[in-house]
Amino acid sequence: MLGVGGGIAAYKACELVRRLRAAGADVTVVPTVSALQFVGAATWEALSGHPVSTDVFTDIPSVAHVATGQRADLVVIAPATADVLARAASGRADDLLTATLLVTRAPVLMAPAMHTEMWTHPATVANVATLRSRGVVILDPAVGRLTGADSGAGRLPDAEHLEALADLLLRDPAALPHDLAGRRVVVSAGGTREPLDPVRYLGNRSSGRQGYAIALIARARGAQVTLVSANVGLPDPPDVTVVPVRDARDLQHAMTEHSPGADAVVMAAAVADFRPALAGPTKIKKVAGHEPEPLALVQNPDILVGLAAPGPTRPRVVVGFAAETGDDRGSVLDYARDKLARKGCDLLVVNRVDGGRAFEVSENAGIILAADGSESVQIPLGPKTLLAGAVCDAVVSRLTAAEEHSR
């Protein structure tokens, strides 16, 4: 069930309905009366394929105000206005949407959207805290342009991100606990590009999807997230600080600046091991009958080793990624365990990347190795948000264990 509150962001929920249905979901839209001032019932009915009602007196024989909530596998409210949050927190049931929220026992995902002043008002803050204490998943809104000339926190997240989180909750209703609240997490994503001349570069096939999924899930679970993004063409996760970089040395500088004292650092970016020894100031020309000069390479800095090195500002948990293929000298896990021993990180996520796996696709599988090289968690093939959730679980587990040990 998709509930729609009465705010200008209601038009963005149209795209969410389309995406959910394209993914195979059966979507019933329940708008508030004021939501229909922004997007009419005919639009919701055309997009969802179901009749639309706002009150508890329509279709009395089917007891719609009860049946709608009972049938739902997931309830998403987008946008969740300040009024919807207040009525839900107080247990009101004065329309079909709030009555459904009282009836349903399905997971509930709310995506607030409103002006910044409304979002930060003590009443809204208290209502959000109340709903979270009851197990409702509430996303902090994105930051950006609002209605009129105003900007700030209050934008509805992109439909792509809401769909990804809805899909995750349908797979695992307990996938988004608010257990990273108060934590600071730094994530790198994408692939570095090492310049050869003003036109060409040495790069890799990383799309950044896995790192962006980790940033999205960590923020949804309450963390303050900085995302160091290397050449990624994806929409920014909501309410995440994005730091764009290009090559390995840019990435090293950004990670060195933002990582000290972080609760967790996740190095999901694919960093080039080598770069051209000389990057020409002009384009290398093709000359008929002449082969190009051999390309001399030098090693890039090992960013993960630097982040994991002992010291007073070392992040509490350092997570590395290993994109590996096996060969006649060893298996994927053999190479991964060797890398874990050399890097000094606390956790290593191993991805097998041959045969079109992992890179430039929407699904991933992996194994999370603990610092002693044991096989901690095996994540089957699925959306990259699933692996992202497993990484966050492992981070929370280590942070919690360290805090309990220190007591």
> Residue 73 sits in a domain of what CATH number?
3.40.50.1950
Residue 179 within any structural domain of the chain? no
Task: Give how far Cα 346 sits from Cα of 241, 370, 396, Å.
Answer: 24, 6, 13
d(CA 144, CA 151): 5
pLDDT tens digits, one per residue of 303-361: 999 999 999 999 999 999 987 777 778 787 878 888 888 899 999 999 877 666 657 77
67-118 confidence digits (pLDDT tens): 888 999 999 999 999 999 999 999 999 999 999 999 999 999 999 999 999 9
Report the percent of the chain where pLDDT is more than 90. Answer: 73
Please tell me the predicted confidence (pLDDT) of residue 338.
84
Active site residue 204: yes
Predicted TM-score (pTM) of this structure: 0.92
CATH assignment of the domain containing 398: 3.40.50.10300
Q: Are residues 157 and 240 in the same domain?
A: no
pLDDT score of 62: 66
**178 within some domain:** no
Tell me what pLDDT residue 355 has.
63
Range of the domain at 120: 2-171
154 with 200, same domain: the answer is no
- 26 and 159 together in one domain: yes
Claim to verify: residue 164 and residue 207 sit in the same structural domain: no
C-beta separation of 226 from 258 below 8 A: yes
Domains: count for the chain? 2
Long-range Cβ contacts of 378-382 (<8 Å, 24+ apart): 382/171
- DSSP code for 69: H
Q: Which residue has the tokens 């922004």?
A: 38
Q: Are 163 and 195 contained in the same domain?
A: no
Cα(347)–Cα(129) distance, rounded to whole angstroms?
32
Same domain for 40 and 83: yes
Instruction: Answer for the pair 231, 285: CB distance below 8 angstroms, yes or no.
Output: no
- Whether 154 and 204 map to the same domain: the answer is no
Pick the catalytic residue from 127, 204, 231, 364: 204
Residue range 223-232, pLDDT digits in tens:
999 999 999 9
Which pLDDT band, with edges at 50, 70 and 90, does 282 fall under?
confident
For residue 237, is it within any domain?
Answer: yes
Whether 147 maps to a domain, the answer reads yes
Please say which residue of 125, 142, 171 terminates a domain.
171
Whether 225 and 360 map to the same domain: the answer is yes
Q: b/e string for 22-53 if b means 16 or more Cβ within 10 A?
A: eeebebbbbbbebbbebbeeebbeebbeeebb
The pLDDT score that the predictor gives to residue 236 is 95
Tell me if 275 is assigned to some domain: yes
What does the pLDDT look like over 20-37, one tens digit per residue?
Answer: 999 999 999 999 999 999
Task: Select from 171, 196, 216 the last residue of a domain.
Answer: 171
